[in-house]
Amino acid sequence: MHEKSLGTIAVIGQGYVGLPLAVEAAEAGWVVFGVDKSSTIIENLNDGHSHIEDVSNSRLRALLKAERYIATNRYQEIAKASICVICVPTPLDDKGTPDTSILESAVKSVAPYLTPGTLLINESTSYPGTLRDLIKGIVEQNRNLGSEGIKFASAPERIDPQNRDWKLSTTPRLVSGLDIESRRAAEEFYSTFCRNLVPVSSPEVAELAKLLENTFRQVNIALVNQLVPLCHQLRIDIREVIEAAGTKPYGFMKFYPGAGVGGHCIPVDPMYLLWKSRQLGIDLPFIEKADEVNGKMPEYVVERFLDSTQNRESKQVLLLGVAYKPGVADVRESPALNVADQLKSRGFVVLYLDPLVKSVPGLEPYRGEDLRGAIVITAQPGLELESLVSAGIPILDCSGVFTDLANVERL
């Protein structure tokens, strides 16, 4: 840890993006105010308890002891910072369209405390034009001096929780600004803890690149998901097909099927791109179809499961691994929730078993009940199937991880 301070920054939002950023910056030598509206999160963080898997309690406590990191819900502290980074969620609303209300609220809260010369950076994923048209406009409306004297930059987050190969410091960082001075200030900041910076010509390029990254994944996952019913009818293992195709040393990238797409990026980012295109009167049929294909996978999974277990009478079904990806306890946007809804709509009682997830709204933990069968959604570390297999419980494995086990059928 650096003995000399590089200055003071504020990170707005202490979730899966904001807290790791705050910790990396603090370890690099910045004094960091981690700002969040949740009093519970603030209290836990100041007590040294991290709610994010990528930040250990020991790292957090070392920074608290060194007075490099302070969690607070006082936006007034932003006035002490030369840099303010916005890291808040940008989800979809009930209609599947962009919901920027949290981002807008954060900028409104921040704006009155931005002092001349402050660099305001947006890491929150959103449509191209968000920094220039939305964020700058809100600052102009909610700050006495308008946007005068404020530098505006965009550096979209590329966090992949629990990825041991690519971390915040090693993943290339896209950086841009509304002017050269803003971009250079952002580069100077991120260079203190990021190894590889990628400057781009405008914030719109950075914003659209982030959307393209995950739209690419959405479309290619949809391609393999669309092949699942075909391969099942042909009695061909689609994963063996993917592995075979993956031996080609160029022009192919492996994507795998599953119960749907989950997490904070793949189901969401393409919809921001689709929304923006519709505002301009431009159709993006590939993206629309990909969303449709992946959105129908939970229904297909349930139909496939019920077909393979039709000789069993129990109305209780067990979901194994309900987080959106292995190694995390986060169930937001998890396809497991959609599979559960499909089962419930057919009159089934849905139970769950997950070594990392303590509770799931609307689901009860498995306690040995009689089962019609089980569905593996996510192959969590520590997830054991042996007792179910030995009891003769049929299992549909959507993860493709559990091979060579009796009564286990891979999607």
Catalytic residue positions, numbered: 265
Measure the CA–CA gap between 224 and 309, rounded to whole angstroms. Answer: 25
Measure the CA–CA gap between 110 and 148, rounded to whole angstroms. Answer: 15
Paired strand residues for 9: 32, 83
Measure the CA–CA gap between 157 and 276, rounded to whole angstroms. Answer: 20
CB atoms within 10 A of CB 72: 17
Asked if 25 and 193 count as a contact pair (C-beta separation under 8 A), the reply is yes
Measure the CA–CA gap between 258 and 69, rounded to whole angstroms. Answer: 40
Quick one: DSSP state of residue 324? S
Measure the CA–CA gap between 273 and 252, rounded to whole angstroms. Answer: 24
Pairing relationship of beta strands 7-12 and 395-397 according to DSSP bridges: unpaired
Measure the CA–CA gap between 332 and 357, rounded to whole angstroms. Answer: 11
Percentage helix, strand, coil for the chain under 3-state DSSP, each rounded to 5 = 40, 15, 45
Measure the CA–CA gap between 67 and 83, rounded to whole angstroms. Answer: 18
Measure the CA–CA gap between 7 and 174, rounded to whole angstroms. Answer: 22
- The tokens 């699942």 sit on which residue? 228
- 3-state secondary structure at position 194: coil
Measure the CA–CA gap between 30 and 37, rounded to whole angstroms. Answer: 22
How is residue 119 written in tokens?
């660099």
CB atoms within 10 A of CB 392: 9
93: enclosing H helix or E strand: none
